[in-house]
Chain A
Amino acid sequence: MGRAVSLWARATGLIALALASQLALAAPPVMDFELPMIDGSKFARLADFGAKPVLLNFWGSECPPCAREMPLLNAQAQAQANTGLTFIGIAVDERAAAERFLARLRPGYLQLIARQQPEVLMRRFGNRLGALPYTVLLDAKHGICAARVGEVDAAWLEAAIKACAAPA
């Protein structure tokens, strides 16, 4: 048994190194995600939203500026409902805490949750600090058009939407 485990450990190490080599040489990150809905009902991918601009707002339940900016984002989401701009909230949190937070603030737009190693996801969307809140607007090709670390205000949000999501 011990010999088998030793072989297993060595094999695992080799596989891990091979995997790392392959991944290190992988192509640049694709601007996509695959995250669970906050109620655990299904996964959502960025690609599901087609060739339309998307606003991603990363938040956490223990983050006061995240709570402060959410009503503004919700109002804008309603105002932009017919423009093709999709608002998506991404909770960088545990589900129970995130659900309590949402029950308090009741935003009307889609909410997903990032639990695995969210720094990786945030780095992919331009947030190398991993700080919250973080808001990023993606253009219709899902490239980063505007991003802001920290609480957004109405002026920034309107300007960003105008720059990134206005109809051509």
Chain B
Amino acid sequence: MFRPQTTSLALAIALAFSHFLALAAESEATPASTPNSKTQSLKSVVVSGHASATQQGALRDDVVATESINAAEIAKTGATNLTELMSHRPGIDVQVECSVCNVRNITLNNLPGRFTTLMLDGVPIFSSVSNSYGLDMIGLNGLERVDISRGAGSSLIAPESLGGTVNLVTKRPTHDEGELDLSAGSYDYRRGSGYAAKTFTGGALTFTGTLQKQDSADGVGYGISQYTGYDRKLAGFGLFLDDVGGFKVKTRFDHVDEKRMGGPMGDDYDAVKASTSGNPFDFSKGPNGSPNANSWVVPSTGALSDAYNDGNFGLAQIIFTKRDQFAGTAEREFGDTKLRFAAGYARHRQDSWYGGDADYFGRQKQYYLESSVQQPVGSALLTAGLNYRYEDLHSRSVSEDPSSPTFGVMRTDADAYVYRTPGVYLQDYQTFFDKQLELNASLRYDHNNVYGNITTPRLNLLWHHSDNVSSRFAIGQGYRLPTSFFELEHAVLSAPAIDRSGAKAEKSNNVSYALNYADDRLAVTATLNHTTIKNLALFVDDTANSGNYLLVPAASNYTINNIDVVGTWQITPGDALTVGAERYQYKFKDTDFQGSLFARPDYRFTFTLDHDAGPWDLNARATYTGPANLAKFYDYADTPRYNLDGTAKRDKSPGFWSVDLRAAYQWNKSVQTYIGINNAFDYQQAKKDSFLWLDRDGNIDVTHIWGPNIGRTVVAGVKLTF
């Protein structure tokens, strides 16, 4: 099998670059265009701004259906990180995958979160490891906007985005500015966040920093957290240079340092690790609680289990994360030709202590290199590019599970992998019928060192029915290389090995259609999506036979059809109403997925009222989440779930409302105060249906999730702008 070496790839990229540079030398610089968007040359004028759709229901002026959230909209939500920002938008949500560790993923079209590709300024530098805990650590300071595109192949450079892409676009400052945001709130929430920008001739520097902490939350008195406490530190630098040999350069570096603990309450990590016996919890609390505080009912026998005796240790998850990441782009235009280079680097270190499972230390590195050239050829605008992605994972782990054959044994690289994926792509953009029809067709070819050759095509069409009405149609494929990190199953760390010999690349087929109407006071978009995932990766416990965990493709496809409609109406000059509705149809054979899919709701409605006039900015958001078919998603047929009193878990989750309120008052041009109330009516899943569940044999788990894991929280703060 052909296995490209790093050196040969570097040579190939160097050759490609040298071609571009030779071409550059022959050309004269004039302003031109942007990739992946409609383009037209502008000569002899200075243009440095671009209109941007910002309200829900509005789309950016791109062939690919893309919605944006800009800095002001981010502020209105009160979100402090990416996962908080992504909640409660039609077609977009955040899935909590673990009640005690709060792994949170961004889901697009309700597909599993690992199918969402996150990018920094168009550079894909996140992986399954960083998606697990890293998304909470992506600050929102210094951003111009966040672009969201749904559907497979929504990005030319990120074929693994089976669900779609979320691209964080860093703001290039145009003047000196600074912002300091200090806030405090429920569960001892404390946050200080700063942003500073200094411009100079031909460039700018930025600094961002955040200190943020919050205690864990237990809504029902188990003594077991449903919301994980954390202590988070972020720092970032940006450098923007307008002319480096004719290239416009944009770079950012971010450092993250976070500690979090779930399970036992508090933040005394050492004390929790030392507590290895007795029962500090109360299993009789909450709905369908056990009749006994120290044990629970074993469903298969109806008798009480042995008393819990693993101390705080048994349910603790303590995760320390450190991450450094860099993303940079350089772009230059030569007449009608445009060159782009991009590079990314990430180093992710995770020290995780899963009491009862394993003590795990993982290291991951990622590199990304890209070069592309965009050139008009006849009536076509062609973009050709090369990119190279490197991703590895190395780990050390010691099983903490006394029943495991590897108990107490230090293992190295139990879940390790190394992926090298060079790829080439070609995109053709054309317009027809006096630009009424825009076409964007592309083809990618990638070669992965494990999964071989993968080809992914896509086609996007944009039809302008009129100035106000447009249709976007997309059909495409994507693929993702399955990873063996514990994203699907923590218990893999207790198995002697992971057998990946049967694994296949996860592939998707997607068809989507978006109808957009916009005028000066109303923007509405209706979207239809059909996505089928083939070879969805599963971890299968084969310890009874081979002794290993198997990474294998699901035996059948996972299909989601969905429709959503969202629109914003400017009711008065200062008041806007946003209404959204989404409906999902899930098609899969539950026994083939063995409960590995997290339950998603059948439908959802969102209502947002925004008052933005004079010194006041008031925002109220209500979301109704419909029921989720828990029995199907969690495969009750094979693995029925039980409450701590031995009764069966409900087959469907109930529908519920959550309401968020926020008020900000601008005292003068520099000082704003604000207060936010999230989950104002204090709806918590734990008060209706415990996150804890038992299997037939009485083994306890923490992943029965369908609703909010923290109740009402209040945050108040002051924002100083300089």
Contacts and interface: CB of A to CB of B under 8 A. Distances in A.
B54 A24 contact: no
Given A12-B565, A24-B465, A97-B72, A120 B519 contact: yes
B51 A119 contact: yes
A36 B572 CA distance: 8
A87 to B, nearest CB: 19
B568 interface: yes
Contacts of A24: 465-466, 469
A9 B563 contact: yes
B199 to A, nearest CB: 10
Contacts of A96: 72, 75, 617, 666
Interface in A1-26: 1-2, 5-6, 8-9, 12-13, 16-17, 19-20, 23-24, 26
A131 B42 contact: yes
Interface in B626-678: 626-627, 655, 666, 669
A77 B530 CA distance: 53
B49 A92 contact: yes
With a 10 A CB-CB cut-off, give which of A9, A35, A63, A120 has the most chain B CB atoms: A120
B520 A129 contact: no
A78 B171 CA distance: 34
A40 interface: yes
Q: Which of B48, B70, B72: most chain A Cβ within 10 A? A: B48
B53 A117 contact: yes
A56 interface: no
Contacts of B52: 92, 118
Contacts, number: 184
Task: Determine which residue in B60, B517, B617 has the highest number of CB atoms from chain A within 10 A of its CB, and name it.
Answer: B517
A132 interface: yes
A124 interface: yes
Contacts of B572: 43
A129 B40 contact: yes
A122 B581 CA distance: 29
Interface string A100-131: 10010000000000111111111110001111
Interface string A138-162: 0000000000111100000000000
Contact of A116 (B45, B55, B581): B55
A26 B471 CA distance: 16
A117 B467 contact: no
A122 B51 contact: yes
Residue among A43, A66, A150 facing the most chain B CB atoms (10 A cut-off)? A150
B574 interface: yes
Contacts of B583: 5-6, 8-9
A50 B59 CA distance: 32
A16 B526 contact: yes
Contacts of A150: 42, 44-47
Interface string B568-597: 101011101000010100000000000000
Contacts of A64: 48, 174
Nearest to B664: A96
Contacts of A130: 50-51, 61
A37 to B, nearest CB: 6
Contacts of A62: 49, 144, 171-172, 174
B294 interface: no
Greatest chain A CB density within 10 A among B54, B71, B528, B627 is at B54
B612 A40 contact: yes
Contact of B174 (A8, A63, A99): A63
B111 to A, nearest CB: 19
A33 B520 contact: yes
- Size class of B's contact patch? 35 or more
Contact of B55 (A58, A65, A66, A115): A115
A33 B521 CA distance: 9
A63 B515 contact: no
A34 to B, nearest CB: 5
Nearest to B611: A40
B581 A12 contact: yes
A13 B573 contact: no
Nearest to A38: B573
B377 interface: no
Given A5-B603, A119-B51, A37 B573 contact: yes
B61 A119 contact: yes
B468 A23 contact: yes
B211 to A, nearest CB: 25
Interface string B318-357: 0000000000000000000000000000000000000000
Contacts of B75: 96
B522 A116 contact: yes
B305 interface: no
Interface in A50-103: 58-60, 62-67, 92, 94-97, 99-100, 103
A95 B616 CA distance: 11
> Which of A2, A9, A63, A150 has the most C-beta atoms of chain B within 10 angstroms of its own C-beta?
A9
Given A40-B613, A120-B518, A95 B72 contact: yes
Nearest to B144: A62
B449 interface: no
B174 A115 contact: no
Contacts of B171: 62
A133 B20 CA distance: 31
Contact of B520 (A65, A103, A121): A121
A124 B51 CA distance: 13
Nearest to A10: B563
B564 to A, nearest CB: 9
A13 B526 contact: yes
Given A62-B49, A131-B50, A150-B47, A116 B61 contact: no
A132 B465 contact: no
Q: Most chain-A CB neighbours within 10 Å: which of B51, B518, B522, B614?
A: B51
A6 B519 CA distance: 29
A40 B522 contact: no
A132 to B, nearest CB: 3
B55 A132 contact: no
A144 to B, nearest CB: 14
Interface string A23-48: 11010010001111101111100000
Given A37-B573, A94-B72, A124-B467, 6 more contacts: A5-B626, A66-B49, A94-B71, A95-B612, A114-B520, A119-B51
22 contacts: A1-B627, A2-B626, A5-B583, A12-B563, A13-B528, A16-B515, A29-B467, A41-B573, A43-B573, A92-B51, A96-B72, A97-B72, A114-B51, A115-B570, A116-B518, A116-B520, A116-B568, A117-B58, A128-B40, A128-B435, A132-B47, A148-B45
Interface of A: 1-2, 5-6, 8-9, 12-13, 16-17, 19-20, 23-24, 26, 29, 33-37, 39-43, 58-60, 62-67, 92, 94-97, 99-100, 103, 114-124, 128-133, 148-151
